[in-house]
Structures are given as structure tokens and as C-alpha cells.
Structure 1
Amino acid sequence: MTRENRWAALAVLLTAVFMDMVDNQIVTIALPTIQRELDASSSALQWTATGYTLAFALTLITGGRLGDRFGHRAVFVLGTAGFGLASLAAGLSGNIAMLLVARVAQGVFAGLMVPQVLSFIHAEFSGPAQGRAMGFYGMTFPLGGLAGPLLGGVLTQADLFGWHWRTIFFVNVPIAAAAAVGALLVMPRRGAGRGGADVVGVLVLASALLAVLYPLVQGRELGWPTWTFLLMAASVPLLGLFVAWERRATAPLIRLDMFRNRAVSVGLPVMLIFYCGMGGFFVLTLYLQDGLGYSPLRTALTMLPATVGIVAGNGLGMPLVPKLGRLVPMAGVVLLVAGALAMVAVAGTDVSPWQLVVPILLFGAGLGLGSSSLMMITLGGVGAADTGAVSGVVNTVVQLGTAAGPATVGTAFFNTLGDGGYVAATRTALTVGVVLLGVALLACFLLPRTARASAADRPHRSLTPNSS
């Protein structure tokens, strides 16, 4: 593959990743509008956000392995085309049930296309070029995550063709089609013939996660019956069953020996808690629109400083990690906590966008600094030969944290809303987010002191039997 073609192929792949991240967040701004038009309950709103990310998370590792087995280009094209069709179905939804099904389908197909990106980077780039490609890849996530709310606000308020919130899904259709055609033209046909799918592992892991997330989202509306607590407790033996199965599976979903490295065994849980704390954006959207009466566009513009913070944080974090190691994600978490506490202090019944500039900027800077550095440190603990499966594990943890955020922080918000109103609910939910981030900060002390420390004990063999 020529140098020009590989960069063109990377551009196509990153377009799809950007589209996925935009779609992951674009619905956040439109949630109050969707709730009014489709007469959705508060738990349905949480599932609109959580259903996508949960389906995405559960498909990522399998998607990586399928790419190793049937070819990264074939699986990427399938995922991209399916994502476009699912987006079309979401835009055509006539009720909240149809929308939730379409959102889950979007998550499944996104889980097929996204893991192929890291696989492609490891297979086609090396040396400094691979570092640049990884830099572009790492920046795509936070930029897409913040472009989503802005685009959601613009499209929802513009009401193009009378489609209103449906436009946020229809816009994916031509982009997905262009990405699928582009991949067929410039992506190489390599990576086929290896790996397999651990269907049992996927089902057991999905059961364990749903045992936690379902009662968290639905428990408040149901009055927290006893079975909700029993179901959450059942997640522990289910996770134990998952570990036992992975130890004996011939093609395990996750090879457990990768956790012998400290950068991986600590980095993944820290990433999970870190992204769970991001549920603050879910709460902030509801507070600004339903509590303060902001329009979708004004809400999106209010959140725009986070994009500046993310770009700055990401740009600083990438080169600093080799020198400062765990201090970089710790600084990111501190900035996030500072931003959240500033939002708690500012929250009131009459807040202007200017009062939120600094808190949201700090929040974005912490997100950019923490997300890029945590990913680099964690990936630094595994062999570079690993492609689909390792990519899937890291991205799965990120998505699980993103899915758990609205479930945990959102539950605290809605539990307080009835008695205390939007201001009290927002402050309570953001405080819960701060507690989660505090746990992540303490866990960062368990990371290797420097990136070199994690590289020193890096395994020299592939952690999976299928590498490109």
C-alpha cells in the first residue's frame, strides 16, 4: 500500500469514527425535544443515551475479532453501511420504542466499524508515522464527542424540511455511504483468515452489565423494589462466570493474561471510572434546556468552550505522557473535578452562558488531557502486534464508562429533581460525578510512574492469537 493511499484510507476511517462519536453525543442536545414529541419517560431518555453506548461496547471486541477473521475492510464496510441504515430508521421512528431499537442497532454496527481503525494503524504505519496516525485517532474521539452537541443544537433548532430532531440521524446517511464507498476504493484487503467469535463470552458479559445498568436506570420509576438490588448483586457472580469462561474458551473475548501488566490492569478500571464521570454533560444539557429554558442552539454554544479545552488538553497530553507518565492523567482528573465543582457553585435559577465559560473550559481540558494520556499509558502496556482484540478492549471500557455515566449520574439527577428542582438535582448529580472522579484520581496512583515503566514489562508476544 502506497504512503498516499494509507493516509487517504486513514482519513476515511477517521471520518467514520468521527461520525460515530458525533452520533454518540448528538442526541444529548435533542433529548428534551425528543421527550416532548415522543412522550418519553425519564428512563427512556437515559436508555436513548445508554442503549447506544452499551450495544457499542458489547460489540467492539467481537467486531475487532471479526475484522481479524474476515478482513478489516469487509467488516468496516458492513458496519458503516449498517450504521447508515440504522440512522435512517432512527430518524423515521414514530415512537420511543422504535427509536430505542434503532439506537441499539446503531451501536452494534458502530462496534463493527470502529475497531478496524486501530487494526489498520498498527498494520499500515510504523515509527513516527504510527505516532502521528495515533495522534489523529486520539483527537477524533473528543472532537467528535463535543462536535455532537453543537451539531445537535444547530440541526434541532434549524428544523430543516420540518424534520426537527430527526435531522440529527438523517445526516449520518450520506456520510456513512461515502465512508463505505471510500473504504472499498482505498482500504487494502488484508487481515482475513484469523480469529473467531466468543458468543458465550459476549452473552455472559452483556448479562452482567445489564444486571447493573437496568435497575440503575429503571429503579427510580419503579420505586426501587427488592429485585432491583438483587439483580445488581447478581452481576458479581455473572462477572465471575465470565472470567471462568474466558479462562477455558478456545477463542476468548478477552485474554486475561493481558491484565498481568500493571499499565493495563490499572489503566482500564481508571478509564472506566473516568468516563463514567462524563455523565455530567448529560445532566448539564437537561439543566440548561429544561431548567433554564435555553434553546438547543444556545445550549450547544454554551458547551462550545469544552471543544477548545479538549483540543488543548489532547495536544498537551500526547507529548507529555512519555516524560511525566501518570502525572498527566492525574492533572486531567484534577481539571475535571475543578470544572465540575465550579459548575456546582455557579448553578442557579438564572445563569448566563458567560458564567459557565470557565467551568466548561476546565471540564473540556480535563477530558482531553485525561482521555488521551490514559489511552496511551494503557496501550503502552501491551504488545504492538495486537490489533482488533486490544483495540476492542480499550474502546469497550471507554464506551462502558460512557454508558454508565447517564445511568449513575442521571439517576442521582432524577432522584433529586422531584423534590429539589433542577438546580438541586444538577448540583447533586455533579457532586456524584466529582466523587467518581475522585476515585479515579486515587486509582491513578497505582499506574506506573512513567510510560517507560509500563514499556519495560511489556509482553513481547501477541496477547491474542490473531494479529495483523
Structure 2
Amino acid sequence: MAISSEQAPPTEREVPTAGESTAPVPDGAATPDPKRWMALLVLLVAAFMDMLDGTIANVAAPSIQQGIGGGYSVIQWVLVGYQLSFALLLILGGRLGDIYGRRKMFLLGVVGFTLASLGAGLAQEPWQLVVSRMVQGAFAGIMVPQILAILHVTFSGKERAGAFAMYGGVAGLAAAVGMAAGGPLADWDLFGLGWRLIFLINIPVGILGMIYAPRVLRESRAPHALKLDVRGVVLATVGLLLLLFPLLQGRELGWPLWGFVSMAASVPVLAAFVMWQRRRTVLDGSPLMELALFRIRSFSSGLGVNLAFYVGIGMFNIGWTVYMQVGLGWSPMRAGMTSLSFCIGAFLTSSAAMVVLVPKFGRKVLQAGAVVTVTGALYFLWASSHYGSSISSWDLVVPMLLVGLGFGLIAAPLPQIVISEVPQKDAGSASGIVHTNAQLGFAVGGALVSVVFFAGLGGNTGSTIDDQAANLRRDLVATAHLTPGEADTTVAAYRACAVDRVEEKDPSVAPASCAAAPLRDERSAPVVAEYAKDAQGESFALSLGTTLWVFAGVVALAFALMFAIPRQMRLEAPEEEENEGGKEPETATAS
């Protein structure tokens, strides 16, 4: 699509001069960076480190809680603190790269992330671990936006498509490896470090990044001097905090009234942020977020798809993890290994999507990915309902593979599609917006899980036990030799305990009803335990089924939004197109 005069990119592009400075030269004089593929390797390793850290701690959370002590709220803050600080810093981090240099900000992020990882690995008190994780997330928020921005300004044409394809593949691989490796790293207690190794493993990776990044990354920044929009930073941070904190902590806090007030208050604050961005654009042309980007069809429509898709993925990731580890009682290692087929599927399609499929079929690749994802979700739904509590990891290989294949077809091309027509001067800001958009989607997805999955869990558990009641009474009388009256009392106590347990916010807390005398009777305990295992698997499968239906609906919404994405996928940056004397851009057309 044509870019309006307001959005027209600069006619000059940066190449490095002596030292670390940059100077604008005619775009035609710019030559490809000879170290760009080594630079890509460094960026992908950094992206892998961040994405791995975002998932591996979730799987190892029980081991962390046991090792460092503290209540369930400590573990929640270890996980949520990272997500929150990460999301709040993304837009600012991206703009800092545009202003002060993307390589410089990337290195700052790597150094801070590595030191915070060391602090988390050496933490002796719960508060030290929480603070380290929040600092870690903050520096990740500075580091991560530079990755997409540097890819955008370093590569062009088919090389850019290949670089983004590798980035998408690393994203899927890191998420799956995190889920698969968190349990073993904590359980194996390598070198006597236990759960600490999941943080300390970042140290050698970070050191390598500090050594090689300055050697292979070319510095880039906006060609025209920009100023930091401090008021915009404050408004954006406060608005996102008011919105995200209740979403991330709502279920654990019981969805208090102040949480809804906070989310409502975020609307005028974010509206004030938008108004200030418009004024700042007029005053000095240095807003924190360039609003003109939203007039670019590929950017605005791509963000809509990105948000909807990650809402669904957030629901799916939390839903199946809870189902396997809590509902079925699988170990973190088994649950992680079951997810490997998802990893394989995502890896297979992510590279092919950008390098082969998108250049030939355009947005139809995304739509095919949505269809495959929904198919996998419905297959998962059937398997969990058909096999019940006796389901095995092998029964879930195909549905997890299908969801992974669909994930790769969508997640890999989306970042490139969203920023494909963004002027290079705004690459960092746009990258920060893309990542913030995805984090918001995950947060909303997590909040929906609380409503869709957990809200009905107590009812599902009660109805499942009601279906068991007649057989359980018979077995208690015949096998445990209870009187009919004792059997009725035991069944009632078992039902009350099971419902209270699934409605408990802290899974480590045993409800008072579970200490009832009938449940401590040595005669009845083995019989009740066998029925409880089946009831838990069945009730969690019912709640998962509801979640999967909603997940399929959200992905279907993303499918519909994909029609707003341009049929032609631009593979060249706008600067290159305009500065090559009317040369036709390299695009991918939808057939």
C-alpha cells in the first residue's frame, strides 16, 4: 500500500562510520552488513534466552517454592513480577533504541538481564528472588524490542523473510524447551543447584552475548534526532499497570472490586496518553509511540490478529498445563515431554511459513494456520473427553502437533507482517508495540482462563462426584465394610472436600473440609482415593473442554481479522522502495 506524506520515510539511511557513531548517507550507498548472519545468531540466542526464561520458571514453580520458602503469593510474584515489568518496559525500551542506538540498548539489556539472573540464582530470601525476577523482566523489556528492530534494519528482501522465520522458529522452540526442561533441571539437582540452575544457566549465555554482540552488531538509530518523551513514558506505564496488574493477579486475589476499578481507570489514562502523543508529534515530532503507524494497514490489522491470537494461545497454554499437572496429576517432566510434539510442529512450519509459503500464498498461510490450530484444539477436546482420566501422553501427540503446526504458520510471519511497512526510524518503537500487544494478549488469555476454566470447575467436580455416588456407596459397603449410614457420610465428606479443594486459590493449602473424620478412616481412604483420581481427571477434562471451545472461537475471530491484512506481503522496507528510483517492491501475492 502507498504510504501517506505524513508517514513517508526519510530519504537517508544510516551506515556506521568510525567507532560507534552513525552518519546518514544516500540509501543507495548502503551496503549489506557482512556480519549480518553472525549478528542474527547473537540476536536469536538472546531471544531464546528471554523466551526460555518466561516459561521455564512456570514449570519449576513448585520446586522454587519448596527450595526458597515463602507462601504461594511469593511464587505468584516470581512469575507475575517478571511478566509485569517486562510488559511495562517494552514500548519505552523500543523507543530508547531508536533514540540512543539499538545495539547500545540491546547490550544494556543483555548485561542487566544476566546480572539479574545471577541475583535470582543466588537469592537466599523470597523477597530477593522476587526483586531479581522483576529486574530481569525490566531488562528483558529493554533487550527484546531491539531484536525485531535490528532484524528490520539489517536485512532486506528474502533475507529478511528468512531471518524472521528463524526468529519465529526460535520462539516456538524456546517455549517448548522451557516447558520440557523446567521439571528435569529442578528434579535432577545438577551440581547441587536444584531450581537455581534455571536462572544460572543464563550466565554463560549472557557473557557470550556481551563478548560477541559489540563485534557483530551494527549500530543503528533514527536518522533524525529524537527526544525522550518522559510524560508519555509515565502515562503509558501507569495506564498499562492499571490494566495488566488486575488481569495477571485477578484470580489469585479473588477478583476484588478494586481490580475492576483499576481496569476501568486505565481507559482514561491511556486515552490521555494518546492525546499527549498527538500533541507531542506536533510540538517536536518525538512521541513515545508514533500514532501514524496505525494508519499503515499491515501494522494496525496485524496487531489486531496478533492480539486475538495470543489471547487464545494464553488460554491454551495455561489450560492444558493445569489439566495435565493438576487434573491428571502428571509430573512437570511428563507434562513437558508431552508438549514436545507442539515444539516439533511449530519448528517445522515456522521456517517454511516465511521462506516458502508466505511469498507464494500471502495471508492465506495465516488463515490455514488458524484452521489447523482449531482442528488441533477440537482433536484435543475429543481425546480428553474420550479417554477421561486414563488418557496417556501418546493420546495427545497428534492434537499437540496440530496446534504446534498452526502456531508456527501464524506466529512466525506475524512480526514481519506487522512491521513490514514501518519506517526504519520507528523500528524500535514498533517492535515494542508488537511485543506489548502480545503480552497484553497473554494477560487477557490468562484472565479468561480464570473465568472459563476455573469458574466452572467446582460445579463440574460436584456433578462428576454425584455421578459416582451410587457406585462409591456400594464399594464402601462391600469393600471397606462400612454401614450404609457411614457410607453416606463418607460420600458427602468426599464431595465437600473435592469441591473445596478445586476452588482453593492456593493449591498447596488443604481445605478444612478435607480433614473430616470420615476421610481419615483407614477402611474407606483407599476406596475414596481411587474414585477421587477419576473424578479429578473427569472434572478437569470438562473444564478444559469449555476452555478449548472458547480457544477455538478466539482463533476463529483471528481468522476473520486476517481478511483485513493486505493480500500482498511487503518484503522490502519502505525506505528501500522509495529510494531506488521507483523500483518495484518485492512482495508476496496471495494466489
Q: TM-score range by the shorter chain?
A: 0.7 to 0.9
TM-score (norm. length: structure 1): 0.88
Displacement of 1:189 in angstroms is 4.6
Decide whether the 8 Å contact of 1:324 with 1:450 is kept in 2.
no
Decide whether the 8 Å contact of 1:32 with 1:289 is kept in 2.
no
Higher mean displacement: 94-103 or 247-256: 94-103
Decide whether the 8 Å contact of 2:424 with 2:573 is kept in 1.
no
Change (3 A) 1:67 1:228: closer
Indicate the SS of the match to 2:423: coil
Match of 1:153 in 2: 183
Match of 2:301 in 1: 266
What is the total number of aligned residue pairs between the two structures?
A: 459
Displacement of 1:299 in angstroms is 1.5
Decide whether the 8 Å contact of 2:33 with 2:218 is kept in 1.
no
Displacement of 1:305 in angstroms is 0.4
TM-score (norm. length: structure 2): 0.70
Indicate the SS of the match to 1:293: coil
Decide whether the 8 Å contact of 1:275 with 1:402 is kept in 2.
yes
Displacement of 1:50 in angstroms is 4.0
Indicate the SS of the match to 2:565: coil
Displacement of 1:274 in angstroms is 0.7
| Counterpart pick for 1:17 among 47, 60, 67 | 47
Q: Which has the higher contact order (CA 8 A, sep 6+)?
A: 1
Specify the code of the residue in structure 2 equivalent to 1:202. Answer: V
**Following superposition of structure 1 onto structure 2, how do residues 263-412 of structure 1 map, counting pairs within 5 Å?**
263-279=298-314, 280-318=316-354, 319-347=356-384, 348-383=388-423, 386-410=426-450, 412=452
Match of 1:61 in 2: 91
Match of 1:133 in 2: 163
Alpha-carbon separation, structure 2, partners of 1:294 and 1:275: 26
Alpha-carbon separation, structure 2, partners of 1:189 and 1:452: 24
Indicate the SS of the match to 2:412: helix
Higher mean displacement: 173-182 or 202-211: 202-211
Displacement of 1:187 in angstroms is 2.9
Match of 2:553 in 1: 435
Specify the code of the residue in structure 1 equivalent to 2:360. Answer: K
**Following superposition of structure 1 onto structure 2, how do residues 186-205 of structure 1 map, counting pairs within 5 Å?**
186-191=216-221, 194-205=225-236
Decide whether the 8 Å contact of 2:157 with 2:572 is kept in 1.
no
Alpha-carbon separation, structure 2, partners of 1:81 and 1:59: 16
What is the root-mean-square deviation in Å for CA atoms of aligned residues?
Answer: 3.0
Change (3 A) 1:284 1:99: farther
| Counterpart pick for 2:63 among 30, 33, 51 | 33
Alpha-carbon separation, structure 1, partners of 2:407 and 2:348: 10
Alpha-carbon separation, structure 1, partners of 2:242 and 2:33: 47
Match of 1:466 in 2: none
Change (3 A) 1:225 1:136: closer
Decide whether the 8 Å contact of 2:239 with 2:267 is kept in 1.
yes
Q: Tell me, which stretches of 5 or more residues in structure 1 are unaligned? A: 462-468
Higher mean displacement: 352-361 or 189-198: 189-198
Match of 1:92 in 2: 122
Higher mean displacement: 402-411 or 13-22: 402-411
Displacement of 1:39 in angstroms is 5.2
Displacement of 1:222 in angstroms is 4.3
Alpha-carbon separation, structure 1, partners of 2:546 and 2:176: 23
Alpha-carbon separation, structure 2, partners of 1:312 and 1:270: 22
Q: Deviations over 1:417-467 (max 9, x none)?
A: 4453533343333333333223222222222234269999x9969xxxxxx
Q: Tell me, which stretches of 5 or more residues in structure 2 are unaligned? A: 1-15, 17-31, 462-538, 580-591
Displacement of 1:244 in angstroms is 0.9
Displacement of 1:259 in angstroms is 0.9
| Counterpart pick for 2:564 among 446, 461, 465 | 446
Displacement of 1:124 in angstroms is 3.5
State percent identity of aligned pairs.
44
Specify the code of the residue in structure 1 equivalent to 2:272. Answer: L
Alpha-carbon separation, structure 2, partners of 1:157 and 1:355: 25
Match of 2:237 in 1: 206
Alpha-carbon separation, structure 2, partners of 1:425 and 1:375: 32
Alpha-carbon separation, structure 1, partners of 2:229 and 2:577: 23
Specify the code of the residue in structure 2 equivalent to 1:426. Answer: L
Change (3 A) 1:29 1:288: same
Indicate the SS of the match to 2:351: helix
Higher mean displacement: 194-203 or 100-109: 194-203
Indicate the SS of the match to 1:294: coil
Change (3 A) 1:373 1:355: same
Change (3 A) 1:46 1:266: farther
Indicate the SS of the match to 2:277: helix
Displacement of 1:80 in angstroms is 0.6
Q: Deviations over 1:178-225 (max 9, x none)?
A: 111221333345548943333332332333333333333444444444
Decide whether the 8 Å contact of 1:382 with 1:459 is kept in 2.
no
Specify the code of the residue in structure 2 equivalent to 1:145. Answer: A
Alpha-carbon separation, structure 1, partners of 2:256 and 2:291: 36
Change (3 A) 1:12 1:131: same
| Counterpart pick for 1:233 among 259, 264, 268 | 264
Alpha-carbon separation, structure 2, partners of 1:256 and 1:292: 47
Specify the code of the residue in structure 1 equivalent to 2:415. Answer: M
Change (3 A) 1:454 1:286: same
| Counterpart pick for 1:109 among 119, 134, 139 | 139
Decide whether the 8 Å contact of 2:103 with 2:218 is kept in 1.
yes
Match of 1:166 in 2: 196
Higher mean displacement: 27-36 or 153-162: 27-36
